[in-house]
Amino acid sequence: MNLQGKTVVVTGCCSGIGADFARLARLSGARVIGLDRNEPTLTLDGFVRVDLAEEAAIDAAVRALPERIDALANIAGVPGTAPVDLLARVNFLGLRHLVQALLPRMPEGGAVVNVASVLGHEWPLRLEQHRALAATRGFGAGLRWLDEHPVAQEHCYQYFKEALIVWTLTQSQPLFLERGVRMNSVAPGPVFTPILGDFVQMLGAERVERDSARMRRPAFSDEIAPAIAFLCSDAARWISGVNLPVDGGLASTYV
């Protein structure tokens, strides 16, 4: 994958998919700047420590980033065993705030890739809710909307991945038409990462057993990273507004 000369920002760079994508992007010629709560244990071209749950922390991190950014890969996330408020902040509101803050630094031909999940596949059932949340302006407005429309703990992970897919789809075409910046999402199935156990706990033994029969195995994180790299590259310059399943065919079994 050719990312030669591109400056790429990646959240969640210290483990799992984020770490494998950061390695692949550097090998493909990119200058990679990582964002994470934890200190990196891999080679990067720059690193900014940030708590993506806090608006002020995101703003401070943005001030430390380069003036030109060619691609942004939003890979950081927390599992559904985390409190609803934290999940809303990191998996949707903080991600959205970061994208909106960095868009002015992205030239025509830039790319944003958001990591969603196969668990977001039921977004059409709640489309109007997700459109309403997507329409809120800013981090605080999003929190106020969620206070008025609370999300249950048992469904919060799926809910905010659905919301992320809807926001990506609805914003992608205006962004592409006005700025020439592409935005897509990638929807992995289960992945061997440090939080895989949290997903098993979240979904329960019955759901896990049922889904296990639909696939060969969970993915390795380095099987997800190339799809993100492709969508960041010029090879995908005419792909925008796509939610790409990278799940070993799991999504196809729901049809």
Torsion angle of the four alpha carbons 15, 181, 168, 184, in this order, in degrees rounded to the nearest 10 = -60
Decide: 76 and 116 in contact? Cβ < 8 Å.
Answer: no
Catalytic residue check, 157: yes
Choose, from 92, 157, 159, 167, the residue flagged as catalytic: 157
**C-alpha pair distances (Å), 132 with each of 53, 89, 166:** 21, 17, 10
DSSP single-letter state for residue 88: H
Under 8 Å between Cβ of 79 and 157? yes
CA distance 231 to 227: 6
Rounded Cα distance between 232 and 71, Å, is 6
Catalytic machinery residues: 157
